[in-house]
Amino acid sequence: MSEADFFDDLPVVLSVSRMSQPVNEAPAAVTVIDRDMIRASGFRDIPDLLRLVPGFSVAYTRDNTWAVGYHGMADAFSRRFQVLVDGRSIYSAAYGAVNWGELPLSMDDIERIEVVRGPNAVTFGANAFFAVINIITKEAVQVPGTFASLQYGEQGMAGVTLRHGGGEGDLTYRLTFSSQNRDRFETDVVDGAASGKLFEESRSHFLNGRADYRLSDTDELSAQFGASVGDWQAGRLYSPPQPDHFLEPRQQDVNTQYAQVKFRRALGVDDEWSLQFYHSRHNLDAPSRLDAYGLTIIGDQDALQTRTNLEFQANTRIAPDVRMAWGAELRREAVQSALYFDADDTRQGVLGRVNANLEWRTRPDLLLQGGAMLEHHYYTGVNVSPRLAVHYDLAPDNTLRFNVSQAYRTPTFLEQDGLYVYRSTTGLPVDIIGVTPNDLLPERIRSHEIGYVGRYRPWRLQLDAKLFYDKVDDYIATTPITLPAGAELVSGGNPGGARQVVNGGSFTLRGGDLQLNWQPAPAFRLSVQYARVFISTSPELDLVDDDVTDSGPRDSFSLLARHDLGQGWAASAGVYHSGSMIWLGDGDPTPAFTRVDVRLARSWNWQGHEVEAAVVGQNLGDDYSEFRPENRFSRRVYGSLSLAW
């Protein structure tokens, strides 16, 4: 999609209802991060791109993990989003985390990212709670030939990507290899009265491939695979020693694999069906031992997760003014971790879903949409997630949207069945960190939105804004508990720091966000995002975690400007501001910050090869803290060189 396409016609999205729709007809607010925005931002890590979506908070936490929040509720696990890569869920059923750093996916292979800003369980089921992030990669036919990219810069930044695409007849393919090195923060830190070092350097390598084969005029078969390995440093070392850090693993080895196959039959524009199967596996090996109390204490954070998924999806036009998308899905999820479940056996479950979305154009200026997801989850039983949306065209290019929906977030394996215990090599309990009641209800959100999408052709400007009011019930949180007599530990006392997972109350979120895209001249493009959110609870409602009301910045905005300078030169600048907030879980209060990034690039043709060289400066202002005070993000510069032939 070129810039001209973007501004002459509204972007077409697939992630809201599984039907192809322009954004002004989608039943929920959606942001499209296209290839041009990805390049101009200078970002090389996928979570950073979410800074370009109104209402999103992004921070690197530790151990190669990222925290992402939307309108608050931000923690280290991104547990209230559904994240997909070409229709494959990468949401972790074990912890609710999204393992961003382990994706076998190159930034250079991403075609676009569609972000549904709001609940979308009607389409993607439980855990599409606050938002859906759908990463769409380039088809094999889009990347013929060979491509190489190299990055190198300060703060341990280095990366190389090699890709080759080809084909013969009806078969096309691409194969990508990438190796990335990061060292996110300054190594030496001061945390209160203690000084120490952060160990955050990571090396990740991956290989992925895709093949598309056209069987006939109507049928197509696609296959994808990927594998990644990571060698990461981890943990902190303080002087004087800090008691809560004594069992942190200093090394983490990760490996991830997936295989995915999809058959698609397209008989017409609104008449097609597909069948998709994928299997994914994620393994973390993080050994840790400590000699204390005359024992050797085990702190291994090892975990093995698998997912097997089969999905059918169909689109059909029932009548000239009525379209429908419907489907069914069956999924098996499993996790094994001796530390987090105090057992070597495997936790597993099977869930099933059926869903339908209906679109009815009742008259030229009025569009009605409705749908529901019925799913049976292995922990919470049957949940129903409905949605109703009404679109009214005030005038050509000006559309109002009203929608109401309901969504659920089901408990993770750790929340429902976790028993987080440190033991000695002889099996004695040394410390109990967390226990679960085994009877959690799913979190529920009831969302109400008023949206507006406007296109002002004479000014080459688009505006997308919404007001929202969301009510969250049965919030899943942890609370301190005192264990009963008999739970004394070999360390000499009762585990007063133990916590239990509970349904921790209700709260509301209200506010608004907007995004504006402006292209006054072919060579200049500006994107602006802004959000304002209020999180509150009634005095009569018992909310276990008081930090929830401050878990999102009151105000946040971002700006990305791009300018074609001519003769192959291009410049871009991004400004990212977040108000003060408190990250949930093991995060801390962080002050407001404003970050400024710039990029200068030159493209040219050399002996028939397309070449681009760029230099990127990140955070050109003062240092700021991410997630916790010692995570200081400093100014840094890196350069990149790419060659295509």
Domain segments of the chain: what residues? Answer: 3-644
Integer Cα distance of 258 and 225 in angstroms = 6
Q: What local confidence, expressed as pLDDT, does residue 495 receive?
A: 54
Handedness of CA 598, 571, 106, 111 (dihedral sign): positive
Integer Cα distance of 389 and 401 in angstroms = 7
Start-to-end CA distance of the chain, whole Å, equals 21
Residue 606 CB coordination number (10 Å)? 9
Query: What are the contacts of 435-440 at 24+ separation with CB within 8 A?
Result: 435/481, 435/483, 435/498, 435/499, 435/500, 435/501, 436/500, 436/501, 437/500, 437/501, 437/502, 440/379, 440/380, 440/411, 440/415, 440/416, 440/476, 440/501, 440/502, 440/503
Task: For residue 122, give the H/E element and its range.
Answer: helix 121-124
Q: What local confidence, expressed as pLDDT, does residue 484 receive?
A: 61
Q: What local confidence, expressed as pLDDT, does residue 478 receive?
A: 85
Q: What local confidence, expressed as pLDDT, does residue 300 receive?
A: 86
Q: What local confidence, expressed as pLDDT, does residue 493 receive?
A: 52
Q: What local confidence, expressed as pLDDT, does residue 288 receive?
A: 84
State the residue for tokens 């979190």: 443
Integer Cα distance of 85 and 472 in angstroms = 27
State the residue for tokens 């075609």: 111
> At 318, which amino acid appears?
I
Residue 273 CB coordination number (10 Å)? 16
Q: What local confidence, expressed as pLDDT, does residue 2 receive?
A: 43
Q: What Rg, from alpha-carbon coordinates, does the chain have?
A: 25
pLDDT along the chain (645 residues), means of 10: 50 93 96 96 95 95 85 84 94 86 91 96 93 95 96 94 96 96 75 64 93 96 96 71 60 92 94 97 89 81 94 96 97 94 93 97 97 96 97 96 96 92 86 82 96 96 97 90 64 64 91 96 97 85 80 95 97 97 88 97 94 97 89 93 95
Distances 241 to 191, 194, 245, 251, 586 between C-alpha atoms, Å: 12, 8, 8, 19, 19
Q: What local confidence, expressed as pLDDT, does residue 190 receive?
A: 58
State the residue for tokens 């996790």: 335
Q: What local confidence, expressed as pLDDT, does residue 5 receive?
A: 44
Handedness of CA 220, 266, 85, 463 (dihedral sign): positive
List CB contacts of 192: < 8 A, sequence separation 6 or more: none
> At 14, which amino acid appears?
L
- CATH architecture classification, 3-644: Beta Barrel (2.40)
Q: Is 585 left (phi over 0), alpha (psi -120 to 50) or beta?
A: left
Distances 571 to 148, 400, 559, 603, 611 between C-alpha atoms, Å: 22, 35, 14, 11, 16
